[in-house]
Structure 1
């Protein structure tokens, strides 16, 4: 972080650090009562009269953060006037701003507690080196070595590889219909599922070179407990876990629905239909964008002022006959929902037949086959009127006189004889 300034800045700026040079230290000794404590690291950043300091605690492999240890470091930071405590481990927060370890909230009044997963650190490193750029070539090489180290399986920086010990009993309870809201495994599994969505976002964003995030409402962001409560209710009532991720530049969030009863994963995205043209023309507009999508993709169409589900068909049928999505030609199509269903893995860990790998594969395949090819409809800009060409005129029509507009006439005198040219009759 101190050697590659762009990388260090990308990590600490969201935490409120000023834009100054970073100083980093390891195992700085502190006294807390009669105890001698050694946090893994200390980061200091100063600019002008402002100074920002953070203590750092690091865990690798399967080691988890300990509440007593974190509370002790929070007390040290408060006594020293430091700004925050940062933890780094393979635990993934279920939502932004939510720490995976619960601590005494009274200790957080003056000192903040932040968490980075190793996946997030790797994501920031790849984003900085491959997409944002590093000005100094030597610093870019150093950052590349960090990426190579973190990606090595023996580095201790692991990916999300376990749904927890409560996954298998909960999945069996859902299948048997015996799951209740009081089940002790319920909070653990819902938190792991949100962590999986966050991990899928980081992994997809690392491949795309953009910041992919879970799609949450404002209420869920301000109160993470609402999200956990909604997931628990859905799992108990219908056996479904759902969520969405937001990818910059796409037509809509990518939604993920996991049905534990049927063992199926459904990824979907909704696209607004064009607001002009015939109904089959609007369907063909969508089909042209899905020319490389698999035939088993499901397309649903909804119409304005209609209730209940609309027409639905597989993409192979829509390609052959676009009218299968038009139930009433008199009602304009409002939106299309494109979805694809795949089998769900059941194992709690990683590898073939695992739940985590099946969700990651479903999300990445659906994005590559469908979402990245979709563009929102936009009306054509109005065009200027073409200028009207003036018709050629004859010299006889140059005058505004009525006689000149009626054409040349022959004058006749009172006796009935033709008058000579220029002679008044």
Structure 2
């Protein structure tokens, strides 16, 4: 039995097979995850890195459930877990509050746990639910900043935790046989629908109204609750899509956001609200490691289309438009009626765009009116019209999470960025060939028989 922290009167080690009532689904899932995490250092490293805690070879990771505080004022408060990280020199601890299924975090409950953490010298509170955030230090609940001066508040979504486990499995990051078995079992457990782990599956209820308003050419307002709800849903979907793509490619996929917006969730929400109102578009940028370029995603509310694209620089060692285009087409072996190529021209010359299938037969169709120009870059797009499905809360998410992986399989996985070849060595002035010399220049050698 591991030693309990001084501020606890009782508590159990997180159990792989918790003995709990059927109604304690949240505690059961939390206990199983925490128990496995303490036994797999690679998992603990990945998960706890989101809180800024480093797990080394000699670090002890302990997890407890059913914790009861010694202080009488807190005796009736029962968080779902406690993590204690001991490096030998320092100790870091965090209370765990978990929700499962469609249960969202309770603001008053989370605030109470933060207050307890402050009083007991606990470093952080970690909430876990099916709610999505862009970063672990962004919380779905808003608490007074003064309350968080001495206690950090972090949030993990269950899908994020499940994706971390999947990626570790794909990358064979766990060598130990027993640990690998535990990780595989945890993956199966979290993937089962009965567990209550849910992905983001639908836009806000107001999404249909927004789509209809744009179709009716009605003016949207930034102060509208419908617009704000739709913008918040898109940000949640962006995060879920990153996790979906991470599972698809077997490595971490991130969204690319301006630093000032990344640090300020409220500003990020305002930016998406402005995008809906001013352009009737929702956009995101994803980064897959070692990909030729970032992947741009756009949901066009007015046209009811979803487009995914990548942009690459054209090879400057090829002088004609046809040669540069053929370089691109050779990397994209499959035709798809949804895929287009947009040529980017120098100066003020507007881009030209044609279907990839047509360009294979007639590459000259991409040429601009000025025949002397050659493109400096290409944008490869997949554009799909969704029609009525675009206005569906659930169907639009289903289609986005189908289209983006399809684009990656057809384009992203095959596209390579052009790289200039290394410069050829400069030829030094060589000595004259003996055959080019006059006999007088050869000296004594010129009199050879």
| TM-score, L = length of structure 2 | 0.83
Contact 2:207 2:230 in 1 (8 A): yes
Contact 1:5 1:21 in 2 (8 A): no
**Rg larger in structure:** 1
Is the aligned partner of 1:259 residue 2:270?
A: no
CA 1:156–1:286 in 2, change beyond 3 Å: closer, same or farther?
same
CA RMSD of aligned residues (A): 2.7
Aligned residue in 2 for 1:24? 63
Q: Deviations over 1:311-357 (max 9, x none)?
A: 2111122212222222233334211111111133346554xxx1110
Aligned residue in 2 for 1:98? 138
Q: Aligned equivalents of 1:2 and 1:16: distance in 2?
A: 17
- Unaligned ranges ≥5, structure 2: 1-36
| TM-score, L = length of structure 1 | 0.87
Equivalent in 158, 163, 171 of residue 198 of structure 2: 158
Aligned residue in 1 for 2:265? 224
Q: Aligned equivalents of 1:401 and 1:380: distance in 2?
A: 45
Q: Aligned equivalents of 1:348 and 1:181: distance in 2?
A: 22
Give the structure with the larger helix fraction.
Answer: 2
Aligned residue in 1 for 2:352? 311
CA 1:397–1:95 in 2, change beyond 3 Å: closer, same or farther?
same
Is the aligned partner of 1:190 residue 2:231?
A: yes
Q: Aligned equivalents of 1:110 and 1:98: distance in 2?
A: 16
Aligned residue in 1 for 2:398? 357
Aligned residue in 2 for 1:14? 50
Is the aligned partner of 1:302 residue 2:344?
A: yes
Equivalent in 167, 171, 185 of residue 127 of structure 1: 167
Aligned residue in 2 for 1:202? 243
Shift of 1:293: 4.1
Q: Aligned equivalents of 2:443 and 2:372: distance in 1?
A: 56
- Unaligned ranges ≥5, structure 1: 409-425
Q: Secondary structure at the match of 1:27?
A: strand
Shift of 1:277: 2.0
Q: Deviations over 1:293-314 (max 9, x none)?
A: 424411111122224x222111
CA 1:23–1:300 in 2, change beyond 3 Å: closer, same or farther?
same
Say which is worse superposed, 324-333 or 225-234, in terms of deviation.
324-333
Is the aligned partner of 1:370 residue 2:406?
A: no
| Residue correspondences, number | 402
Q: Aligned equivalents of 1:310 and 1:155: distance in 2?
A: 50
Q: Secondary structure at the match of 2:382?
A: strand
